[in-house]
Amino acid sequence: MSFLVSIIVPCYNQAQYLPETLQSVLDQTYTNWECIIVNDGSPDDTEVVAQEWCKKDGRFVYLKKENGGLSSARNAGLNIAKGDYIQFLDSDDYLHSEKLEQSVAVITTNTDLKLVVTDFKLFSDSVNYAKEPYCILNQERLTYESILYGWGGDFTIPIHCGLFHKDILLSFGFDESYKAIEDWIMWLNFFKNTKSAAYLNQPLAYYRFHEQGMTKNNVLMQDSLLKAYQEINDSLPEAYSKEFSNLIFSRLTAKIKSQQFKIIDLEYQNSKFLKLMIYKNLKRIPILKHIIK
């Protein structure tokens, strides 16, 4: 069975990486795909590069929109996608040439599957020198509970590791109020809607680390993370909420303590002063108020 796969490539100000990313699409051994290049109001040469690739192969589609952020760009691609399954690919990342073929092969053995997740590797300048991933993925990670409690602690899943059933994604889309951490919200929503997922133990996605990456923006990441903690907790049943609050309290305490250790003299590390500093910071977070005395 040959499914049409829609590859959605959101682009903002990374035209220098885009040719390599799109070449990894063109090199796919599975050929029944369309690639939607979404220009999210980029001020650089993204449009020039994208149009060159559209001329090169008719399966590339160009969509230009006003800047609205990563979630907005992905939603725009989803809205015009014709495929049965969706492959996301950020404009600085890369796919192994057999990413689609091997993922679709798993689906053809079980057409009820809504998601196939592959392993990944890290790279900076060239995939030829890719390194081992920063976390371990496996089948046990692919549950709502695992992603709720383990995300950001034990693991995260780069979004281009997944091949997603489009109908599930369209039932909720990406929350455009998030400028970061939007992928965690997406994964949680996906597993709220289905438990049908398979893990493929092959490194078929490549995640690029560089100084311009969104994860390097500490203020943006922390603001988005606190927003996500609160909104996720508000939507959880009580059975999940208490454990989630305690987990977040533990993580934030450790993080603040680590930050304080950098600026406080060693003789104060175990002092009452440090404890008060930690609690003062944590009390500002609504999700934690009921467990901080």
pLDDT of residue 168: 96
- The predicted pLDDT at position 81 comes to 98
Q: 186: how many CB neighbours lie within 10 A of its CB?
A: 22
Nearest to 122 by CA among 156, 94, 150, 102: 94
pTM (two decimals): 0.86
* Local mean pLDDT, 10-residue blocks, the chain (293 residues): 92 96 98 98 97 97 97 97 98 98 96 96 94 96 96 94 97 90 93 96 94 59 82 85 85 69 45 50 56 52
CB atoms within 10 A of CB 103: 27
Residue 67: closest CA among 6, 121, 131, 13 = 13
pLDDT at residue 181 in the model:
85
Identify whether the C-beta of residue 49 lies closer than 8 Å to the C-beta of residue 20: no
> Nearest-CA neighbor of 109 among 33, 189, 196?
196
Encode pLDDT of 125-136 as tens digits: 899 999 999 999
